[in-house]
Structure 1
Amino acid sequence: MSGSVNRPVRRRTFVLGSAAAGSAALAGPLAPTASAAGFGWSDDGSHYVVDTGANLVFKVAKSNGDLTSLVYRGTEYQGYGGKNSHVESGLGSSTVTLAQSGSTILISVTYGTLKHYYAARSGENNVYLWTNKADTSVSATRYIVRVKAGAFLNDEPDSYTYAPTTLEASDVFLKSDGQTRSKHYSKLRVIDYDHLGWSAGGVGLWIVRSNHEKASGGPFYRSLLRHQSADGGGLYEILYYGENQTEAQRFGLQGPYVIAFTDGGAPSSALFPGTLTTPWADSLGISGYVGASGRGKVAGVGITGRDTAYPYTVGLANAAAQYWGSARSSDGWFSIGGVLPGVYTLTVHKGELAVYSTSVTVSAGATTTLNTLAVPSSNDPANASAIWRIGDWNGTPSGFKNAALMTYAHPSDSRAAPWTGNVVIGGGNETSAFPAYIWKDVNSGLLVYFKLTAAQAAAAHTLRIGVTTAYANGRPQVVVNDTWTSAIPSPPTQPSTRSLTVGSYRGNNHTFTYSVPASAWLTDTGQYNVLKINVVSGSGTTSYLSAGTSVDAIDLLA
C-alpha cells in the first residue's frame, strides 16, 4: 500500500535532490511492520523473486547476484543492452542465499571476499543495498541500476542521448551545437545531494545514496552519478571509482543505499543519509554491520576565526571511515552522528579549503563534545595583507572565467568563453577575466599587468598561486618583467587521472610561493609591471589533455 501523496507528473522531469527536497514518497522505513498483502518470495529455479506487497516485484539471479528485474506497477524498468543491475559490471559466479525474518527479506551474495546484500521490507517500494568490499580483488566499488530505454530520457549535462560524436576517450560527447555531454558531468559534489534519478509519467526511480563512510574523497568529491543514452540509463552509487581520487580506498561494509520507486515525487527524507535508521537490520547477520548502539557522535559548540561570507564544513577521516557535517553559520556549531569508534583527524574547511585540523576520539554510544575551535588567523591565506589579489581563497576556482561551467561541460564546449586573455589589476573584473584552468598547450603564458608605488617597488614581495588540482603534474612557473624567472617548483601530490576535462577541479589544495626580489620590479611607477604565468611539465599530451592546473587564488603580498 502506498504511503505517498498523489502528485502526477505531466511532463518528464530530472531531479538531483538534497535533504531540502520534498518528502512525498511511497512507504519507507517508517511504514508499519505488519506484512502487506502479497509480501513474500518465491524461487523460479534461476532467480529469487521478491514481492514487497506494495507495487514492487524484483528478481535476483541465483547464479551471480545480478538484479535482473524491477517491476513497478506492472511495468519493467530494469535493464538495457542485455545488461542487468549489479556491483561493478557484474560479479560472475557467486553464492546467493535468501532468508526471511518477519517483515524483512534479505538476499546475500558472496563473491570471493566481497559480500553484497539486497533487503526488502513489507509494504515498501524500496530495495535496500549494502556492499562489503574487503580488499582490492574487485577493482572499484560501484552499484549501477540499469534502466530500460525510453523511460526517462533527458538532455541534461550527464546525458549523451543526443550526442553521437565522441570528443574525448569513449565517454565525452559533442553535440551538433557544440555543447558537450558526459556521464561525468553531474555538477554535484557528494555533500550536495541525497538522491538522484528521474521522474516521468507519475513514476519516480531514484537511488538514495549511503552516508559514504567507506568511500574516499571527502564531502567535496565529484564523480559520475547517472547517465542516459539511446539504449537506456544508469543510476550509480559510487564508493570508490579510482578517478580523481585524493585518498586511498577504504574497505568494509557500506550502506544502506536505496533503490526507491515513488509516484513521481522525491523519495522520503526518512531514507536520506543522516536520517535513515535501520534497527530492523541489526539482527540480520550482515557482515560488518554496526548498528546505532555501536556508533558515537562528535559535537562542537562553535568555531571562531571564521569568515562568515563562506560556508564551513567539518570533516572526520581516518583510514577506515569518513564523515562530515555543516557548521552553523551563526556560530559554527556542528554535530556529526553515526560515527564508527576510532581516532579521527577533524578538519575545518572554509568553502573547500582546509584551515584547521585536530584529532578527536569517538567511542561507541557516547558523544565527544568539543569546546570552541579557534581557527588561527594565519591559517586562512585571505587574512594576509596583499597589494592585489585575484580570486578568493576558498579552495575552489569559483568566480574565475568558465569555473561554473566546468562542473558540467568539457573545456572545449561552445558555451565556454575563450581560455586566453590577460588581466589588468584595477580594472574591476580581474577574477572573472582570469581563466579558471591553465594548460600548457592551451593558454600558458597568461599575463597580469599591475602598477606599484615607489615604496612597493623598492621591496621584495611574495607572490602566491593557490591551486585546487593539477593534471599531468602541471604547475606554474612565473616570469616578472622578462627579467626575473622563478625556479620550476616541484609538483605537489595530485590525482593521476583526468580531472579538468571530466567535471572536477577537486584535488589537493596547494599554494605555490615565489620570493620576487626588488630588482625585478619597474622603478617607474607609471608603468605596468608584467607577471607571466606559464604551466610547466614533462607530462601530458596535447590541447585540454596537456598538463594543466585549476586556480584557487593569486596574490602579491604587501
Structure 2
Amino acid sequence: MQHAQNRPVRRRTVLGAAVAAAATTALATTAPPAAAAGFGWSDDGAHFVIDTGAGLVLKVSKANGDLTSLVYKGREYQGYGGKNSHVESGLGASTVTLAQTGPTILVTVVHGTLRHYYAARSGRANVYLFTDKADTSVTATRFIARLKPGIFPNEGPDSWVEGADTVIEAGDVWRRADGQTRSKHYSGVRVMDYDHVGYTTGTVGLWMVRSHHEKASGGPFYRSLLRHSNELGVGLYEILHYNQSQTEPMRFGLQGPYLLAFTDGGTPDPALFPAAHDTSWVDPLGIPGWVGAAGRGRVAGVGLRNMDPAHPYTVGFANADAQYWTRAAAGTGAYSCRNMLPGTYTLTVYKGELAVHTTTVTVTAGTATALHTLTITGDPSTAPAVWRLGDWDGTPAGFKNAQLMTYAHPADVRAAPWTGNVVVGSAGASAAVPCYLWKDVNDGLLIHFRLTAAQAAAAHTLRIGVTTAFLNGRPQVTVNDTWVSAIPSPPAQPSTRSLTNGSYRGNNHTFTYSVPASAWRADPSQYNVLRLNVVSGSTGTGFLSAGTALDCVDLLV
C-alpha cells in the first residue's frame, strides 16, 4: 500500500495535477500534502485498491472499470447476483489508469468515446464519480451501485419481494399480497426535489448524492428510478439520460461529481449537495471537459410580476448543451442561478410545472447577468371561465388519484375507482375527475353542468390541458349527444410507458374546442352533458391502452 504522509488533514485543498495518460499506473510526483492515516492505493494485479483513510476501501477492476468492492469499517456492501457497480450495465473491456494528486486519487476508465472517473479524497468516506459521454455509442447514461441484500431495510414504494409478490406489468411492476403495488420506478419525487437517495440501518447509511444534472435531460420536473430493493439486492442510481417519459434529446459532455457517501446512519453532509458542493478540489486533476467556478457565470433576476400566490414558481434555463433551474422566491419571484456554463439559454418561468413565460438570456463566464422584473403573460388561468375543473399548473394535482400515481400503479388497491361522473358546482367536483383517462378503462367520462340562458345563447371555447399521453391518446368531445368535435391531432409526447410507471410528466399541451351555441340546452334548469372519449390510432388493453393525463378542463366565458 502506498501512503501519503501520516498526519491529519488541515485544509480542503488539492495540489498538483496529474491524469494518467498511459495504460500504466501513475503517481503524482509533487510532495503530497497532509493526509489521513491509511490513505493510499495499491495494485493487486486485477484491481486498483484505494483506502480513503476514513474506513472506506474500494476496488476498481483494471479490466473493465467496474466498482467491485466497497468495504466500509470492515463490512462489504458491494454486489448482488454476481454483478458489480458500474456505468450502464457494465462497459466491458476498458483502459483503466490511476493517478494521485496530493490528497486525491483519480481512476480513469476509457471505453470507446466514453470516459468515467472514480475519485477518492483523503479522510472522506465517499466515492466521487464523473461520467463523460461524447455520443450515442452508449445508449443511456446512468451509474448503478449494486449493494448486498439483507443489510438495509427492504421497505418503501420501490421495494418488493420477488419470492412472494406478483409481476403485473413489463417485468418491473409488482403487486403485493395486500394489493399494494411496488416498482423501481416509484420514486415519488422530481429531480428538483431531492439531493440524495439511499438507505440507513440507523448506524450506517449509504447514499447516492446526485450531481447538478447540467448535462442530464428532462428538466427540473423529470421523474426517474432512483433506487430499488428486494431480498436479492439493492440498487442506487444516478440517472442522467433515460428514455422513459423523456421529453428532451440527450446531452453530451462531462457530468459530475455525483457520489456514493457512507455515514454513521444519518443523511449526507449538506455541503456535498449540488447547490453547495465546493468542487475546487477537482480543478487541479486535469479532467478533460471540467469547467471550474472561474469559467462559469450566474443569472440573477429581480422578480416576477403576475404570480399566483397559490403556486410555487420555478425558473429554468436550457440549451442543447446544459440545463439548470432555480426556485423563485414567494411573493417577489426573485431568483438566482449560479455555476452556469457560458452560453445563450432559453429562460422559462413555470407556474407549478406549466410554462407561462419564456425569453432568452446569455451567460458570460465570471460575471452575473442581471435581469429586470419579468411580467408573466402566458397563464391560462387568467382567462374568465364559466367553470373550471382543476387548475392550470402543468400537473394533475387536485384530480382523483393524482398524488398516489407518483408512487403506485393505477391498479393499486389504494386507488379510488377510476370511473364515475362529475357534476360541476357540487362539493369536490375537481376531486371527482380521474387524473388519467384510458380508452380501455374509463373512457367516456361525463361532466354535467348548467348554463344560464345568456350563456346557452352563445358559443364557448372548451379547453382541456394534458401533461402527457400514452399511445397518442387524446380527448374527443361530445356535447349533449348532438355535437361531436373533430379528432384533434396528437401532440408530441414520449413514446414510452408513463401513466403506469410513476410519471405524468410529458409535454404540456392544451386542446381547444369551439362549441357552437346550437350544442347547448337552452333550459337553465337542465344539465348539459360533456363526454370525453380517448381516441388513438394505436391499440392496447387495460392500463396500457391509449390514455392521457389531465391538467385542467374549463369552459371559457
Normalising to structure 2: TM-score of the pair?
0.94
Distance 1:527 1:30 in 2: 74
RMSD: 1.3
8 Å contact kept, 1:115–1:287: no
Structure 1 residue matching 2:345: 3-state secondary structure: strand
The amino acid across from 1:176 in the alignment is A
Structure 2 gaps, min length 5: 1-8, 15-32
TM-aligned CA distance change 1:531 to 1:300, over 3 Å? same
Distance 1:293 1:40 in 2: 30
Normalising to structure 1: TM-score of the pair?
0.94
Structure 1 residue matching 2:192: 3-state secondary structure: helix
Other-structure match for 2:113: 113
1:474, CA displacement in angstroms?
0.2
Q: How does 1:67-106 map to 2 (within 5 A)?
A: 67-106=67-106
8 Å contact kept, 2:301–2:370: yes
Distance 2:267 2:279 in 1: 20
TM-aligned CA distance change 1:454 to 1:258, over 3 Å? same
Other-structure match for 2:281: 280
Other-structure match for 2:3: none
Other-structure match for 1:13: none
Other-structure match for 2:444: 445
Structure 1 residue matching 2:325: 3-state secondary structure: strand
8 Å contact kept, 2:154–2:231: no
Distance 1:412 1:534 in 2: 21
TM-aligned CA distance change 1:102 to 1:28, over 3 Å? closer
1:46 aligns with 2:68: no
Structure 1 residue matching 2:129: 3-state secondary structure: strand
1:330, CA displacement in angstroms?
2.3
Q: How does 1:496-507 map to 2 (within 5 A)?
A: 496-507=495-506
Structure 1 residue matching 2:543: 3-state secondary structure: helix
Other-structure match for 1:10: none
1:284, CA displacement in angstroms?
1.0
Other-structure match for 1:390: 389
1:155, CA displacement in angstroms?
2.3
1:557 aligns with 2:543: no
1:430 aligns with 2:429: yes
Distance 2:159 2:114 in 1: 31
1:153, CA displacement in angstroms?
2.5
8 Å contact kept, 1:29–1:271: no
Distance 1:194 1:128 in 2: 15
8 Å contact kept, 2:106–2:119: yes
Structure 1 gaps, min length 5: 1-26
The amino acid across from 1:547 in the alignment is A
TM-aligned CA distance change 1:540 to 1:34, over 3 Å? farther
- Deviation track 1:252-273 (CA, whole Å, cap 9, x = no partner) reads 0000001000000010011001
Deviating beyond 6 angstroms after TM superposition, the runs of 4 or more aligned structure 1 residues are none
Q: Which is worse superposed, 528-537 or 28-37?
A: 28-37
Structure 2 residue matching 1:239: 3-state secondary structure: strand
Aligned residues: 530
Larger RCO (CA within 8 A; separation ≥ 6):
1
Q: How does 1:53-64 map to 2 (within 5 A)?
A: 53-64=53-64
1:473 aligns with 2:458: no
Other-structure match for 1:4: none
Other-structure match for 1:132: 132
Other-structure match for 1:289: 290
Other-structure match for 1:212: 213
Other-structure match for 1:8: none
1:30, CA displacement in angstroms?
5.4
TM-aligned CA distance change 1:262 to 1:173, over 3 Å? same
Q: How does 1:191-202 map to 2 (within 5 A)?
A: 191-202=192-203
- Deviation track 1:192-214 (CA, whole Å, cap 9, x = no partner) reads 00000000040000000000000
The amino acid across from 1:75 in the alignment is R
8 Å contact kept, 1:28–1:126: no
1:361 aligns with 2:362: yes
- Deviation track 1:399-422 (CA, whole Å, cap 9, x = no partner) reads 100000000000000000000000
Other-structure match for 2:463: 464
Distance 2:344 2:201 in 1: 46
Other-structure match for 2:25: none
Q: Which is worse superposed, 47-56 or 277-286?
A: 277-286
TM-aligned CA distance change 1:145 to 1:28, over 3 Å? farther
Other-structure match for 2:406: 407
Other-structure match for 1:372: 373
TM-aligned CA distance change 1:329 to 1:38, over 3 Å? same
Other-structure match for 1:170: 171
1:531 aligns with 2:530: yes
Structure 2 residue matching 1:293: 3-state secondary structure: helix
Other-structure match for 2:28: none
